[in-house]
């Protein structure tokens, strides 16, 4: 029975697999670009995606004031209003995620590269003050006040302790990433209004079936995801290949030391890389909420692991590889779950990865952000 | 240069935190109630205390919150009525994690003022913690761990106030076959101890009518493989064994894919805010079986007055479970052995049922499962399944 | 890195303490070590000591059990993972898989499918974990750095999901009534008294430290160091890098299996939820936090990672936020870990080019 099922639902699985794959691919871009430039697994990128989904939620519910349901029905909008809402929420998500990525870079990574600056020191001092204040008070306002008072003097101290010019071992970056990932997710879980529960995002787009493709329903949200993802990736490719800053990114990815000598400001290139990766994650966050209508504090973790898998599958450091890896992974998961059962989904994903790496040790398209052939 | 950078960065951060304060202002009330809940009720000279072992933090914390609220409500009401002999509720967080349960259980056991325990919240942590409680002779009453092996594991102190999965599964299957009479059934589970256990029980009882079955990964967001399978089989009824968080996603994705089957769930989904309010139109018409009862109007009113929300899943059971221990202590049980004996002999009306335990710790009235339906966005009682 | 900087790195207070200890006469060394070991054997009693007790005791949960169920396991696991990450420089994000293999072997052979005695289950678990290490290592160790990380991460998940979907392994219900160590005289391995488990576990930790110290200073240890610092150079110098990497994997896996086996027999119940992916990450955090490659560092790291969230239970739901921030702060201000490897500064002279 299950052998025939895959044939009957093949196109259905293909369509939803590609949609999921495109979301993986957008998140994978953040991993792949940071990896290309810093040779670092940016573990906290999953939480950059997560805060993006909250950016969408806030923009929908707070800015536009859309309630979850109107009289038990979805609060559908149409025409110009709908377009305005969608555009604003994707901008909100990109801004929130991009800002998150920059704060992350300045706070958790830059000091480890031996280039710690005042911004990182202030955030770290604030966080130190915040956790110290938990010893005295349970009330968040009091905590914030204590933290704000402590921030000043402590940040002066921190700037002084930063080990300038000394690069930390790579594992330190990884643990710093894991720590900030944990802190971000837990902050949302602790201080978000619904805490650890699932947040449903208002559904403004009616998910009409646009056309039927060999028996599979292609819905409007799928089409938006496909067009949006392709647009974002194309503009990213153009940016990296055609602009001055993009050339800087490629130069640093190829050889950071030489790029520095040739006058590239490595730190600002890294910042831009994080910003771009964050913005892509924000776009993915918007697409994600559009299709799945929900978010949660830990929504990023598994999606992040899968997206990183997609990045490695396609060839980490390779922008086109991220797209290919994402789609291959999304499809493999869908087909595999259909044949072996959904409980084996993650096993299938990793077995596909392992098989590909056996035959192509650097992924399907190979590593190449620096090789100019992006 | 360095200084001015620092100042600038500081200014940015301070202004950001002001924005945070402004936005967070409205949430003050919420955080205040949480703070008030986790602290113990003012009780100056407690005669005894009871413990609650449950997931306060961690991924399952949303399921733990009603457990605490239910038990806390019972203790608060008791203390208001018995100010001269008040009892404290001590809460112990396991995160629902079996690895943390023994250490927590040991801490419960070594606190000599604790005479009985409400919980543990989940079946996994029960299996890890019950050996310690058994050894210490500390009576436990759970209102949520419904695994069908616990009662046969030989723990004398184990008590359970609601029907286990071995009762619930066949009852659901019976309701499906006798009331809904579908030609075909689809079964989905979340591969968890609870969800798979329940789904397997339904699957066995439903027999040949089962046309399609699948498991989902509850941590994933996308269930399209399972949805496609159901869309292809197009069963008249789909049963899902799992918790409400995934039920919301699953219902929405099934409806979006155009699957019109009647959705049937187990007790893990019976949560007004968590399921019916969150899934909206996609939840409409869904049937939810539960060994739990809503509790009477007085209880619902008291809960709503205290927490400003409707009772959550297992809230009424935890209220009842805490009341059993409180009543036993009031009746004069002064040590753990006395509490254990008194709980075994307990026979009085609770808000969910007449509470009386069999020899292996199950509630005698735990044979009945209640069926609820989402109507007009509200989970409303439909029928008893005997 | 300039010479003065690396000099400064070596003279941090911890290392001075170590150097001072090494400078002591032999007899003083022995008696100090014996005193320290005796004090550590008595760790379960530390909460009763006035000031120390206030610092170390864990509110809302029993310190004795936190010590045996979590701290002990994290220390053992950190020691094992340190062989892979610290000695051989291989990034393993799926170490929980070996821990699971050990725990499940003990569970299955003593309670699930067979009824072997505990004393037979323990070595069997170690061997099974070792085999798992070789099976995983053979195809994957040819991959480099971060590719290895994601593949091992997948391996850890595969083990957990397989256990969750296999009835033979108890499925999501898990396996209970796992055999406890046999009681000998006053050492009663029961339910309510966790102290004997610590005496057993600490003895195991001491043996593992002894074996690993010998190994680190042997030909194998030097080969690992060569692989870690520069794999290509090591290969050119005639070191069979693949063989030594596989050894590191297998030995690391064996210690992970040992920890899993002890855990299963202490708690008496396991299910797949015990072996979540997040645990692998915490294991790695323990190693790096303490000081990659430094045996005493990773012991400290293992202790801290298990202990901090329990000690600060008073922070309630915020304690994992605190933990995350602490990880970042430690990495920013002590990137080599709390107790760095001796000569670590020299080893990293290649500006972070090596994996560790």
DSSP B267-282: GGG--IIIIIHHHGGG
Burial of A160 per CB tally in 10 Å (0-12, 13-18, 19+): exposed
Please name the residues between 168 and 197 in chain A that touch chain B, using a CB distance below 8 Å. Answer: 189, 191, 193, 195-197
Q: Mean pLDDT throughout A58-81? A: 88
Q: Tell me the CB-side half-sphere exposure of residue B147, using CA atoms within 13 A.
A: 20
Q: Which residues contact C132 (CB under 8 A, 6 or more apart)?
A: C97, C98, C101, C159, C253, C257
In CATH terms, the fold of domain B34-164+295-352 is: Rossmann fold (3.40.50)
Q: Is residue A49 part of a domain?
A: yes
Shortest distance between the Cα of A216 and any Cα of chain C, in A, equals 30
How far is the first Cα of chain A from the last one, in angstroms, to the nearest whole number?
A: 44
User: For residue A183, which residues of chain C lie inside 8 Å, CB to CB?
Assistant: 321, 324-325, 328
Checking if the pLDDT of C2 tops 50, the result is no
Q: For residue C202, how far is the Cα from the chain centroid?
A: 13
Structure-block tokens of residue B149: 């092996």
Residue corresponding to tokens 């070590």: C33
Q: Is B20 on the interface with A (CB under 8 A)?
A: yes
B57 to C191: CB separation less than 8 angstroms, yes or no? no
Q: Where are the beta strands (DSSP E) in B132-234?
A: 139-142, 158-160, 185-189, 210-215
Q: Is residue A74 part of a domain?
A: yes
What are the strands of the beta sheet with B139-142, ordered from one edge? B87-93, B48-54, B114-118, B139-142, B158-160
C324 to A181: CB separation less than 8 angstroms, yes or no? yes
Checking if the pLDDT of A335 tops 60, the result is yes
Give the model's confidence band at C58: pLDDT under 50 very low, under 70 low, under 90 confident, else very high: confident
> Which residue is closest to A118 within chain B, CA to CA?
B6
Dist CA C99 CA C272 (whole Å): 11
Nearest Cβ partner for B27 among A17, A193, A288: A193
Give the model's confidence band at B12: pLDDT under 50 very low, under 70 low, under 90 confident, else very high: low
Question: What pLDDT does C135 receive?
Answer: 92
Name the residue ranges covered by the structural domains of chain B.
Answer: 34-164+295-352, 166-290+369-385
Dist CA A225 CA A20 (whole Å): 9
Q: Is A301 on the interface with B (CB under 8 A)?
A: yes
Give the model's confidence band at A134: pLDDT under 50 very low, under 70 low, under 90 confident, else very high: confident
B98 to C62: CB separation less than 8 angstroms, yes or no? no
Dist CA B91 CA B107 (whole Å): 11
CA distances to A83, A185, B224, C39, C70 from C159, in Å: 46, 26, 24, 38, 21
Q: Tell me the CB-side half-sphere exposure of residue B51, using CA atoms within 13 A.
A: 29
Phi first, then psi: what are they for B150, rounded to 5°?
A: -60, -40
**How many domains does chain A fold into?**
1
In the three-class reduction of DSSP (H, G, I as helix; E, B as strand; rest coil), residue A59 is classed as helix
Checking if the pLDDT of B73 tops 80, the result is yes
Site from B89, B103, B114, B201 to mutate, C interface, most C CB atoms within 10 angstroms: B103
Residue corresponding to tokens 């929504």: A299
User: For residue A306, which residues of chain C lie inside 8 Å, CB to CB?
Assistant: none
Q: What is the ipTM of this complex?
A: 0.92
**Among the listed residues B188, B185, B167, the one whose alpha carbon sits nearest the alpha carbon of residue B176:** B185
Dist CA C89 CA C75 (whole Å): 19
Give the model's confidence band at B40: pLDDT under 50 very low, under 70 low, under 90 confident, else very high: very low
B222 to A123: CB separation less than 8 angstroms, yes or no? no
Phi first, then psi: what are they for B239, rounded to 5°?
A: -105, 135
* Inter-residue contact B188 to B230 (CB < 8 Å): yes
Q: Using beta carbons and an 8 Å cutoff, which residues of B are at the interface with C?
A: 38, 56-57, 61, 92-93, 97-100, 102-107, 109-110, 123-124, 127-128, 131-132, 134-136, 147, 149, 153, 191-193, 196-197, 215
Dist CA A361 CA B176 (whole Å): 52
Q: What is the CATH number of domain B166-290+369-385?
A: 3.40.50.2300
Checking if the pLDDT of B25 tops 50, the result is no
**What's the mean pLDDT when you consider all of chain A?**
89
Question: What pLDDT does C257 receive?
Answer: 97
Minimum mean pLDDT among B7-16, B132-141, B170-179, C139-148: which range? Answer: B7-16
Phi first, then psi: what are they for C338, rounded to 5°?
A: -70, -45
C60 to B131: CB separation less than 8 angstroms, yes or no? no
Question: What pLDDT does B267 receive?
Answer: 86
Give the model's confidence band at C245: pLDDT under 50 very low, under 70 low, under 90 confident, else very high: very high
| Structural element, H or E, at residue B130 | helix B123-136
Dist CA B217 CA B201 (whole Å): 19
How crowded is residue C278: how many other Cβ atoms within 10 Å of its Cβ? 14
Please name the residues between 197 and 236 in chain C that touch chain B, using a CB distance below 8 Å. Answer: none
Domain boundaries, position A90: 40-117+162-299
Q: Which residues contact A308 (CB under 8 A, 6 or more apart)?
A: A28, A31, A41, A45, C150
Q: Mean pLDDT throughout A246-256? A: 90
Q: What stretches of chain A show up as alpha helix (H) in DSSP?
A: 2-8, 10-38, 45-58, 79-104, 118-133, 140-161, 170-191, 220-242, 244-254, 256-261, 266-292, 299-314, 319-340, 345-359
pTM exceeds 0.90: no
Question: What pLDDT does C344 receive?
Answer: 57
Question: pLDDT (tens digit, 9 = 90+) per residue, A31-45?
Answer: 999 998 888 889 999
| Structural element, H or E, at residue B113 | none
- Of all residues in chain C, the percent with pLDDT exceeding 90 is 51
How crowded is residue A167: how many other Cβ atoms within 10 Å of its Cβ? 20
Minimum mean pLDDT among A110-114, B148-152, B319-323, C242-246: which range? Answer: B148-152
Q: Mean pLDDT throughout A84-103? A: 95
Q: Mean pLDDT throughout C47-73? A: 88
Q: Is residue A325 part of a domain?
A: no
Q: Mean pLDDT throughout C38-57? A: 89
Q: Is residue A222 part of a domain?
A: yes
Question: What pLDDT does B30 receive?
Answer: 37
Q: What is the DSSP string of C128-142?
A: HHHHHHHHHHHHHTT
> Which residue is closest to B57 within chain C, CA to CA?
C317
Minimum mean pLDDT among A179-188, B145-154, B339-348, C237-246: which range? Answer: B145-154
* Inter-residue contact C216 to C228 (CB < 8 Å): no
In the three-class reduction of DSSP (H, G, I as helix; E, B as strand; rest coil), residue B216 is classed as coil
- Of all residues in chain A, the percent with pLDDT exceeding 70 is 97
Q: Where are the beta strands (DSSP E) in chain C?
A: 175-176, 269-270
Question: pLDDT (tens digit, 9 = 90+) per residue, B277-331?
Answer: 888 899 999 999 988 777 788 898 999 999 988 888 888 899 999 999 999 999 9
CA distances to B315, B322, B353, B371 from B363, in Å: 17, 15, 9, 19
Question: pLDDT (tens digit, 9 = 90+) per residue, C303-326?
Answer: 999 998 888 877 767 878 988 999
């Amino acid at each position: 029975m299950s052998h025939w099922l895959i044939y009957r639902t093949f196109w259905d699985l293909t369509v939803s697999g590609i949609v999921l794959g495109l979301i993986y691919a957008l998140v994978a871009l953040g991993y792949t670009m940071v990896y290309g430039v810093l040779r670092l697994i940016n573990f906290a990128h999953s939480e950059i995606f997560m805060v993006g989904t909250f950016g969408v939620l806030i923009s929908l519910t707070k800015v536009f004031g859309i309630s979850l349901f109107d009289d038990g029905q979805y609060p559908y909008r149409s025409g110009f209003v709908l377009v305005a809402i969608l555009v604003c929420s994707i901008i909100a998500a990109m801004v929130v995620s991009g800002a998150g990525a920059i704060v992350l870079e300045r706070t958790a990574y830059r000091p480890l590269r031996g280039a710690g600056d005042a911004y990182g020191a202030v955030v770290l001092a604030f966080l130190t003050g915040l956790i110290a204040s938990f010893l005295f008070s349970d009330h968040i306002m009091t905590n914030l006040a204590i933290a704000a008072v402590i921030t000043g003097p402590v940040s002066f101290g921190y700037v002084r302790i930063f080990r300038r010019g000394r690069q930390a071992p790579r594992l330190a970056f990884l643990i710093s990433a894991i720590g900030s990932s944990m802190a971000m997710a837990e902050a949302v879980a602790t201080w978000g209004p619904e805490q650890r529960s699932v947040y449903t995002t208002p559904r403004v787009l009616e998910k009409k079936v646009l056309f039927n493709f060999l028996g599979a329903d292609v819905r409007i949200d799928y089409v938006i995801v496909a067009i949006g993802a392709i647009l974002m990736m194309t503009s990213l490719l153009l940016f990296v290949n055609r602009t001055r800053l993009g050339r800087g990114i490629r130069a640093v990815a190829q050889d950071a030391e030489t790029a520095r000598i040739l006058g590239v400001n490595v730190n600002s290139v890294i910042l831009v890389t994080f910003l771009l990766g964050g913005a892509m994650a924000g776009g993915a966050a918007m697409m994600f909420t559009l299709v799945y209508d929900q978010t949660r504090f830990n929504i990023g973790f598994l999606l992040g692991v899968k997206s990183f898998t997609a990045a490695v599958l396609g060839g980490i450091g390779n922008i086109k590889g991220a797209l290919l890896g994402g789609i291959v992974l999304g499809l493999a998961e869908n087909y595999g779950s259909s044949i072996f059962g959904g409980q084996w989904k993650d096993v299938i994903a990793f077995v596909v990865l392992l098989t590909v790496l056996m035959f192509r040790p650097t992924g399907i398209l190979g590593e190449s952000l620096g090789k100019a052939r992006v | 240069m360095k200084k001015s950078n620092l100042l600038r960065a500081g200014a940015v951060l301070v202004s950001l935190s002001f924005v945070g304060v402004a936005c967070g202002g409205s949430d003050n009330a919420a955080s205040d109630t949480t703070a008030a809940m986790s602290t113990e009720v003012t009780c100056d000279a407690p005669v005894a205390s009871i413990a609650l072992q449950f997931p306060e933090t961690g991924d399952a914390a949303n399921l733990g919150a009603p457990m605490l609220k239910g038990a806390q409500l019972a203790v608060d009401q008791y203390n208001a009525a018995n100010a001269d002999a008040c009892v404290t509720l001590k809460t112990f967080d396991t995160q629902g994690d079996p690895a943390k349960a023994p250490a927590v259980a040991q801490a419960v056991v070594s606190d000599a003022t604790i005479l009985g325990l409400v919980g543990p919240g989940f079946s996994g942590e029960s299996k890890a913690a019950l050996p310690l409680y058994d050894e210490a002779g500390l009576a436990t009453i759970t209102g949520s761990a419904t695994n069908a092996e616990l009662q046969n594991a030989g723990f004398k102190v184990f008590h359970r106030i609601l029907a286990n999965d071995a009762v619930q599964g066949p009852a659901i299957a019976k309701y499906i076959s006798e009331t809904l009479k579908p030609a075909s059934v689809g079964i989905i589970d979340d591969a968890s101890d609870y969800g798979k256990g329940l789904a397997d029980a339904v699957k066995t009882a439903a027999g040949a009518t089962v046309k399609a079955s699948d498991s989902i990964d509850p941590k994933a967001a996308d269930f399209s493989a399972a949805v496609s399978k159901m869309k292809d089989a197009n069963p008249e009824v789909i049963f899902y064994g799992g918790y409400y968080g995934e039920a919301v996603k699953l219902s929405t994705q099934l409806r979006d894919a155009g699957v019109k089957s009647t959705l049937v769930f187990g007790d893990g989904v019976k949560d007004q805010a968590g399921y019916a309010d969150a899934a909206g139109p996609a939840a409409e018409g869904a049937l939810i079986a539960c060994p739990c009862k809503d509790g009477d109007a007085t209880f619902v009113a008291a809960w709503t007055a205290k927490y400003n929300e409707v009772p959550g899943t297992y809230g009424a059971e935890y209220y009842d479970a805490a009341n059993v221990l409180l009543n036993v202590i009031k009746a004069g049980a002064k040590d753990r052995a006395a509490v254990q004996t008194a709980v075994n002999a307990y026979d009085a009306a609770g808000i969910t049922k007449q509470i009386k335990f069999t020899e292996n710790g199950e509630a005698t009235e735990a044979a009945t499962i209640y069926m609820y339906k989402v109507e007009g966005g509200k989970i409303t009682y439909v029928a008893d399944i005997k | 890195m300039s010479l003065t900087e690396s000099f400064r790195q070596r003279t941090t207070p911890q290392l001075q303490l170590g150097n001072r200890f090494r400078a002591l006469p032999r007899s003083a060394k022995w008696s100090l070590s014996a005193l320290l070991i005796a004090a550590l054997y008595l760790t379960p009693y530390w909460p009763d000591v006035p000031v120390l007790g206030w610092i170390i005791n864990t509110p809302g949960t029993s310190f004795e059990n936190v010590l045996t169920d979590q701290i002990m396991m994290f220390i053992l696991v950190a020691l094992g993972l340190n062989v892979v990450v610290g000695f051989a420089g291989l990034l393993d994000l799926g170490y929980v898989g070996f821990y699971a293999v050990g725990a499940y072997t003990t569970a299955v052979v003593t309670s699930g499918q067979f009824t072997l005695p505990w004393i037979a289950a323990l070595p069997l678990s170690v061997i099974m974990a070792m085999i798992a290490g070789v099976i995983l290592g053979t195809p994957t160790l040819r991959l480099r750095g971060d590719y290895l990380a994601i593949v091992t991460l997948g391996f850890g998940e595969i083990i957990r999901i397989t256990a969750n979907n296999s009835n033979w392994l108890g499925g999501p219900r898990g396996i209970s009534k796992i055999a406890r160590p046999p009681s000998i005289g006053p050492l009663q391995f029961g339910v309510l008294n966790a102290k004997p488990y610590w005496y057993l576990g600490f003895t195991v930790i001491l043996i593992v430290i002894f074996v690993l110290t010998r190994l680190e200073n042997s030909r194998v240890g030097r080969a690992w160091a060569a692989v870690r610092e520069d794999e290509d150079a090591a290969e050119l110098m005639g070191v069979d890098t693949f063989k030594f990497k596989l050894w590191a994997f297998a030995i690391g896996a064996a210690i992970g299996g040992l920890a899993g086996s002890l855990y299963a027999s202490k708690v008496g119940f396991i299910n797949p939820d015990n072996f979540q992916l997040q645990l692998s990450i915490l294991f790695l955090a323990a190693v790096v936090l303490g000081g990659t490659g430094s045996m005493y560092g990773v012991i400290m790291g293992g202790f801290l990672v298990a202990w901090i969230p329990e000690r600060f239970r008073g922070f309630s739901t915020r304690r994992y936020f605190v933990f995350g921030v602490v990880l970042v702060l430690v990495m920013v201000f002590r990137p080599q870990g709390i107790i760095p490897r001796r000569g670590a500064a020299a080893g990293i002279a290649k500006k972070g080019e090596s994996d560790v």
